[in-house]
Amino acid sequence: MTTKKTAQGKGPITILKSALYILLTHRVVMLPLFLLAFLQVWLIEILFFAPRYPLNIFFGPIIRRLWSETFLHYPFNFIVLQKMFYFVQTPIYIFLGSFAIAMMISLLKSINDGHAPRLKPAIQETLSRYIHVALAALLAFGLMKGLFKCYDLIYNRALLIKSTSGKFFFLKQLVLEGSPYFKLLISVLVTILTAYLFPVIMVDKKKIFSALILNFKTLFATFWSTAMVVFIPSVLFVPLLVLRVSLVKGDYMLDTMLIILVVSVLLSFIVDALIYTGVTTVYLLRKEQE
């Protein structure tokens, strides 16, 4: 059954149900993102043991130079674990994450065309479009970091508010306490704004600048469906953020950092699979209508 036939209702809930059905009936579609998640979990394990022998032979001097000897020992080694993991996440997303998403879209296109999804042709097709795929990922990442910087300016300004009551105090608390949730919303917004870059590049074989134009053209025509297809799965991150915020305020944050990082990787795998299967379905539906 093609992606178009499984989403004839065209509403966001129908699209997401269709995406879930496709992922469950064609599990090979999830393989690229699954391998990416496996790599990230493996990386977390390596970084967890980085302060210990024999990995500390390599990582020890780096940690001492960037931070201090203290961060080689419990419990501060968990702080280094988080910092180092988020640092390597940038190249992983741009160079590997984008490849995994593009390869998944190639597999979805094969299903939509009535063909059996095969890994080798999907890899070859993704490699042929890889430069534009990586540029799209770099563009999305740059936009997200730029908006994060803007929020950080607001955050730093809120720190200067000295009021202990009233509307300014409420505004300060909203900005400071809501920081993780606002940054999640920023991530969702960037995903919405760039939702069709990968599908356009992989389905229509457009170059990055042409893909940008067609991305916004498609987004303008399908904004509500696209926004909901991205937003609904992203809500899965909210309980994890609530847990993380509560742990930061408590005494167990460092001890549970490893679990939180692993859960965040697994959640990203699920959310990205649903989102990009969903937006690819929306894009293919629109192409059918045209």
Kindly report, residue by residue over 151-195, the tens digit of the pLDDT.
Answer: 999 999 999 888 888 888 889 989 998 999 999 999 999 999 999
C-beta neighbour count of 40 within 10 angstroms = 23
The answer to whether residues 188 and 275 touch, using CB atoms and an 8 Å cutoff, is no
Per-residue pLDDT at 268 exceeds 60: yes
**Alpha carbons 87 and 9: distance in angstroms, whole number:** 41
pLDDT score, position 278? 96
When pLDDT is averaged across residues 136-142 and rounded to a whole number, the result is 96
DSSP 52: S
Q: Write the pLDDT tens digit of every residue in 34-80.
A: 999 999 999 998 988 888 888 888 888 988 888 888 888 877 788 88
Confidence of residue 1 (pLDDT cuts 50, 70, 90): very low
Residue the block writes with tokens 């134009």:
213
Can you state the percent helix, strand and coil of the chain, rounding each to 5? 80, 0, 20
The answer to whether residues 215 and 194 touch, using CB atoms and an 8 Å cutoff, is yes
> Is the sign of the CA dihedral 164, 165, 167, 170 positive or negative?
positive
Residue of 223, 275, 290 lying closest to 108 (CA atoms): 275
**Alpha carbons 18 and 61: distance in angstroms, whole number:** 50
The answer to whether residues 173 and 161 touch, using CB atoms and an 8 Å cutoff, is no
**Alpha carbons 251 and 37: distance in angstroms, whole number:** 29
The answer to whether residues 70 and 168 touch, using CB atoms and an 8 Å cutoff, is no
DSSP one-letter string for 140-205: HHHHHHHHHHHHHHHHHHHHT---SSHHHHHHHHHHHHTHHHHHHHHHHHHHHHTTTHHHHHHHS-
Residue the block writes with tokens 């020890």:
60
Confidence of residue 3 (pLDDT cuts 50, 70, 90): low
pLDDT score, position 131? 96
**Alpha carbons 255 and 213: distance in angstroms, whole number:** 46
**Alpha carbons 211 and 34: distance in angstroms, whole number:** 26
Stated pTM of the model = 0.91
